[in-house]
Chains A and B, each alone.
Chain A
Amino acid sequence: MKNVKILGSGCANCKKLEAVAREAASAAGIEAEFVKVTDLKDIMAYDILATPGLVIDNRLVSSGRIPTQAEIQGWLGG
């Protein structure tokens, strides 16, 4: 069971990232729990300069952009 956190205060890109990440997980048949982190203080704890951020099992894997499904599947599998 993977833990996936979406960092972002609710902007358009954050919603898009969540949709892409959910699709990536279900397409690859990986079980994952999704958490949205919207509080600014919690977001800033992750050293990012632009939202949306993607955190998988407490490791920041991308920020400031929307990765492709394939990229996310790579991070989920590793």
Chain B
Amino acid sequence: MQPFLVSLQGGAGNLAAYLAAHVLLCLLPAFAIAGAMSALIPKASITRWLGRRTPARLSYPAAAAAGSLLAVCSCTIVPLFAGIYKKGAGIGPAVTFLFFAPAGNVLALSYTGSILGAEFAVARVLLSLSFGIGIGLLMALVFWRDDTAHDAQADTLFAAQDRIGSAAVGVLVSLVAVLIAGTLKVAPLAVALASFDLPLAWAPAWQATLAEWVPFDAAKGEEGVSAQGSLLIGLLVLIGVTAWRGLENIVEGANRWTGAALGLVAATLLVAALQWRVHPGGVEIVLTGRTLAVAMAMAAVAVYARRLEPDALNAWLWEAWRFVKQIFGLLVAGVFVVGVIRQWIQPEWIQSLTGRNDLLANATAVLFGVFMYFPTLVEVPVAHMFLDLGMHRGPLLAYLMADPELSLQSMLMVAAIIGRAKTTAYVGLVAVFSIAAGLVFGAWVDGVSLAWIALGLAGFMAVLAAALIWLRSRRRAPAAAAAS
């Protein structure tokens, strides 16, 4: 019975830590931003660069931008991938788009940064961007003949042009400001501006009860639930209830529940941005620079949101709510399960397999990523668990790159569109590039100078290029023989 109880407490503790203030300040704005991107950025403003006649120097960056800005869910990823491949810029940009989408979208990016640290988020984006374009170019080179084959029909699909409206830009920028103000760790945001005392005599006792329910071991990197955290969890439940009534039919117009839900979201963010100090007589609430910055950025969001067309505003709220419904429940369940499993894994296992930054460790991490499938974003708490258990940061990044790209589900989807041969090539390339990414990041973490890393990368590219040239000459030879 005892181990069972310990497992459950591990799960609850993990969950509580993930609902703490700093995570909410990241997740709530990130969901709002994802919704705004999918509802307010006209797809034609980016897809116009993905047509057949666009030169490669434009179409590859545009494909990466589409992956980052348009593709937050499979509703867009699958049709857009198929469209770019079959009717647009071809296999290369399509693959770049597919590769960059899971790593470059705002939810993954901000969540990675908030849980694993900013350097992980930056490395994930930079490496997936450059390697995404690299894999795209490689695929285009290897399968160049297929691209010329279905070049016949003219494409009207990518001809439409559109621009993003100024109010939409304002909403997006001020939402990003909320995200940054809430999560950035710099001195001006931590400065205390004012403080007041709430004479809540029961607060210390409540804090002690919470610590009893969810025991935690700070040495193992665990976080418990604070009194502030318990209030935030209560607010989240209230948001859930009001949003269900206020946002489920938002397409047909707002009702009074909508206002309540949005007010509660704003209140939650403000509470999360305050500092709480529980002392024997009650609670001291500290207003910091962060509180002020979050409040100002939210006011800016409200100002610009009022300027949106009512339909656009409703579409934004619906998309944000849909992402919450689609992802948040699975994320909460995933975080709980990760917390339970963690109680059973011995750190020695992880350390002996992946504690160093070498080829074997990175390959093991990638292999694990291929065979495990986690719902969107759950790969991040899983990575966090491995980090705590002593996995080296290099293999950890390799795992983070490979897991969302190479799940069985996404491979099947890709195979249905581009066929088995190309899928095999894609999977192989992603595995090789993920291992390379892990080695590079791990070397950087270990303090290897950037010059050596650049040299290693250049060597890696040279080997790949040589392999390609050899491949192409082999493909050309029989074609020439057949033609003569």
Q: Which residues of A contact B (CB under 8 A)?
A: 8-9, 11-14, 16, 20, 40, 43-44, 47-52, 64-69
Contact = CB atoms under 8 A, between A and B. Distances in A.
A69 B74 CA distance: 25
Given A13-B322, A64-B43, A50 B251 contact: no
Given A12-B75, A40-B416, A43-B79, 9 more contacts: A11-B74, A12-B326, A47-B87, A47-B156, A49-B76, A51-B76, A51-B78, A64-B43, A68-B311
A43 B81 CA distance: 13
B22 interface: no
Interface string B303-328: 00000000100010010001001100
B21 to A, nearest CB: 29
Contact of B75 (A20, A40, A47, A50): A50
Contact of B251 (A9, A12, A64, A68): A68
B47 interface: yes
Interface residues of B, dominant DSSP: helix
B47 A66 contact: no
Which residue among B47, B75, B86, B416 has the maximum number of chain A CB atoms within 10 Å of its CB? B75
Contacts of A51: 75-76, 78-79
Contacts of B87: 47
Given A12-B322, A40-B82, A40-B416, A65 B39 contact: yes
Interface string B66-105: 0000100111101110110011000000000000000000
Interface string B41-70: 001000100000000000000000000001
Contacts of B74: 9, 11
B79 A50 contact: yes
Contact of A8 (B75, B315, B417): B75
B86 to A, nearest CB: 7
A58 B339 CA distance: 51
Interface residues of A, dominant DSSP: loop
Contacts, number: 61
A13 to B, nearest CB: 6
A68 B82 CA distance: 27
Given A9-B78, A12-B325, A50 B86 contact: no
A16 B318 CA distance: 11
A49 B157 contact: yes
Nearest to B73: A11
B418 to A, nearest CB: 12
A50 B318 CA distance: 16
Interface string B182-198: 00000000000000000
Interface in B155-193: 156-157
B217 interface: no
B270 to A, nearest CB: 30
A53 B148 CA distance: 29
Nearest to A48: B79
Contacts of B75: 8, 11-14, 50-52, 64
Given A12-B326, A50-B76, A51-B75, A68 B252 contact: yes
Nearest to A70: B252
B253 to A, nearest CB: 8
Interface in B317-347: 318, 322, 325-326
Contacts of A14: 75
Contact of A20 (B80, B251, B315): B251
Contacts of B311: 68
A44 B252 contact: no
A51 B153 CA distance: 23
Contacts of B76: 49-51, 64
Nearest to B158: A49
A16 B417 CA distance: 26
Contact of B86 (A8, A11, A44): A44
A66 to B, nearest CB: 5
A40 B74 CA distance: 12
Contacts of A67: 251
B252 A69 contact: yes
Contact of A49 (B47, B315, B417): B47
Contacts of A20: 251
A9 B413 CA distance: 11
Nearest to B86: A44
